Amino acid sequence: MNAITPSRQAVPAPVGLLAELTHRCPLRCPYCSNPLELDRRSRELDTQTWQRVLTEAAALGVLHVHLSGGEPTARNDIVEITETCAKLGLYSNLITSGVGGALDKLQALYDVGLDHVQLSVQGVDAANAEKIGGLKNAQPQKMLFAEKVTSLGLPLTLNSVIHRGNIHEVEGFIDLAVKLGAKRLEVAHTQYYGWAYVNRASLMPNKADVDASIRIVEAARERLKGQLVIDLVVPDYYAKYPKACAGGWGRKLMNVTPQGKVLPCHAAETISHLEFWYVTEHSLGDIWANSPAFTAYRGTDWMQEPCRSCDRREKDWGGCRCQALALAGDAAATDPACSLSPLHAKVRALAAEEAAENPPDYVYRTIGSNVRSPLKEEAKL
Ligand code: SF4
Ligand code: SF4
């Protein structure tokens, strides 16, 4: 492994590490942000390597570790890995589907110091939720899991990814979060990367439903002040300005894949010309400071107009590079989700057109599938 080498520029310390421990998952959500080519179990990092990565993360200044996947409790060593976080003083957040072996391992995770649980819920109505997640009998398991989380006194966040298949349930997600005793609810409109990009025509809601969902959340925030925090992620295609993707490229977050590839955001592999480094060959500090993938779009020097001269350039950092590549054909372009992008009107029109059509069947997330990214074939806007 290489030692840390001096970086070319002052680099802020990362605050968060997304540890994608495995791509195995009992669910098959059609909006999953995992890549189309999922890592197989045989290629996953071993326990000792994850423990070394976590130790390096703590030394770098990382505060939060998101134990994610896939389904992180599918790993036999999830308790050991969580215990390592606790020993290193890292705040651990388990991002889980709540099915499979999750419930069986929860007590042990609590005992070794797990700090927080984020549970995904695909829908409120069980039949709808199980259709979206592609797994029968998942909903009762999730409800039992949530009850156990709160009975242990662990803070619970519910994560609901919103799309045209469940946008009519936003009020229901809020009621469910209150009923389950969650402290926080994420109403996160689908971001169109990974499997969601393949399924965009099935998932894209119309503008009227999006606006209604925003009004419901705003009213509930007032009503439930002090009881439930609701985070709202609006859909990029209908937004005025883009989000600062991952808090800005290479500024706050690192994402380690099951086989140890380190990404600036979970969709970064769609930018195929980038060179990604592995934790098996480099230290985390070296990757953060010097890996070509991290330095490519860090800061503002790489920006084109209109971002280059825009006074929001250090607020949203030009939006999402993966979306710029997907929609504009150039990862260094202004994110077309931005109303200042010359392509924005076409993005809006595309969303409206897809939302008005009959939704095609879901392409479910599957390991070993031969689903190909439409990015290469799609005519750009
Ligand atoms: S989005 Fe669905 S399929 Fe993807 S990791 Fe989460 S629960 Fe599993
Ligand atoms: S032009 Fe660029 S920096 Fe300005 S708001 Fe749009 S994406 Fe952000």
**Looking at the whole model, is its pTM more than 0.85?**
yes
Q: How far away, in angstroms, is 199 Cα from ligand 1 center?
A: 14
Contact (CB, 8 A) for 242 and 316: yes
Q: Percent of the chain scored above 70 by pLDDT? A: 95
Is the model's pLDDT at 239 over the cut of 90?
no
Q: Residue 305: its pLDDT value, please?
A: 95
Report the pLDDT value the prediction gives residue 379, as an integer from 0 to 100.
44
| Ligand closest to CA 258 | 1
Tokens standing for residue 314: 């250090």
CA angle 36, 275, 242 (to 5 degrees): 65
| Ligand 2 close to Cβ of residue 319 (< 6 A) | yes
Q: What is the CA(341)–ligand 2 centre distance, in A?
A: 8
For the Cβ of 260 lying below 6 angstroms from any atom of ligand 1, the answer is no
Residue owning the nearest CA to atom 1 of ligand 2: 307
342 C-beta closer than 6 A to ligand 2: no
Contacts of 287 (CB under 8 A, 6+ apart): 254, 262, 277, 279, 294
| 290 Ramachandran zone, left/alpha/beta (phi>0; psi -120 to 50) | alpha
Q: What is the pLDDT of residues 99-109, one digit of tens each?
A: 998 999 999 99
The mean predicted confidence, pLDDT, of the chain is: 93
Ranking 78-87, 163-172, 202-211, 361-370 by mean pLDDT, the lowest is: 361-370
Residue found under tokens 């909903």: 139
Write down the pLDDT at residue 374: 58
Using a 6 Å cutoff on CB, does residue 241 contact ligand 2? yes
What per-residue string of b and e applies to 301-330 under the rule 16 or more CB within 10 Å gives b? ebbeeebeebebbeebbbbbbbbbbbbbee
Mean pLDDT of 49-75: 97
Q: Which amino acid is at 41?
A: R
Residue 339 and residue 241: Cα distance in Å, rounded? 6
Q: What is the mean pLDDT of residues 78-99?
A: 98
The pairing of strands 262-263 and 253-256 is: antiparallel
The verdict on the CB of residue 163 being under 6 Å from ligand 1 is: no
> Count of H helices and E strands in the chain?
13, 9
Q: Which two tokens stand for residue 247?
A: 């808090």
pLDDT reading at 352 higher than 50: yes
